[in-house]
Amino acid sequence: MLKLVVLRHAESEWNPVGRYQGLLDPDLTDRGRRQAELLGEALREEGIGVLYSSPLKRTYETARIVASTLGLEVVKEDRVIEIDHGVWSGLLVEEVKERFADDFALWLEEPHRVEFPEGENLAKVYDRVKNFVEDIKIKHEGETVAVVSHTVPIRCMYCALLDVELSKFWSFGCDNASISRVLIEEDRAIIQSLNITCHLGELYVEAHKAL
């Protein structure tokens, strides 16, 4: 059995304006750094032994701030990096809606059918995060493990853990600096808490529905 604590990175400079990030690498905002501090405080009693993070700045800095509170090192993990949004990367939601209207509508309604031009699709992200989960199940049996990642790999991870279709991708909330807890047993996974943000207080900001 493994307890997996899933953390979305704190607010980046592009989150408030609704800009697709993908593999591009904006920093955290000042509010994001404070969110990360509150995230670390909220996890003090969690018993986390290992902290993995996507290598991008917004995730790694979140993880580093959390790790400093918990007395841990951060392990960089490429398999939980954000989806490559391809030509959408760096564009505002409204720009994507205007320039790629059909794909944007499909992204909101049937995300598993979208292939980002010059980028990835959900199936590719699903495969790499599933591989990550299978790996840590063996490596960290009986431990509590945390991972700091992004909206797309986190939602794909839930689909993989629950063995549900990627068409259910949008069924899982994923706000900045949120905490989710999954108990992974040999033959099933149980989501014990999902997208918890109460530790953020007035620093909570709802995620953009298209991101």
Active site residues: 9, 150
Q: CA 2, CA 69: separation in Å to the nearest integer?
A: 22
Number of C-beta neighbours around residue 55 at 10 A: 14
Q: Residue 148 forms beta bridges with which residues?
A: 7, 53
**CA dihedral sign of residues 3, 78, 177, 21:** negative
User: Burial, 38: exposed, middle or buried (Cβ in 10 Å; 0-12, 13-18, 19+)?
Assistant: buried
Rg (C-alpha) for the chain, rounded Å, is 16
Dihedral of alpha carbons 20, 23, 24, 30, sign: positive
- Alpha-carbon distance of 179 to 81, in angstroms, equals 18
Is the separation of the CB atoms in 2 and 145 below 8 Å?
yes
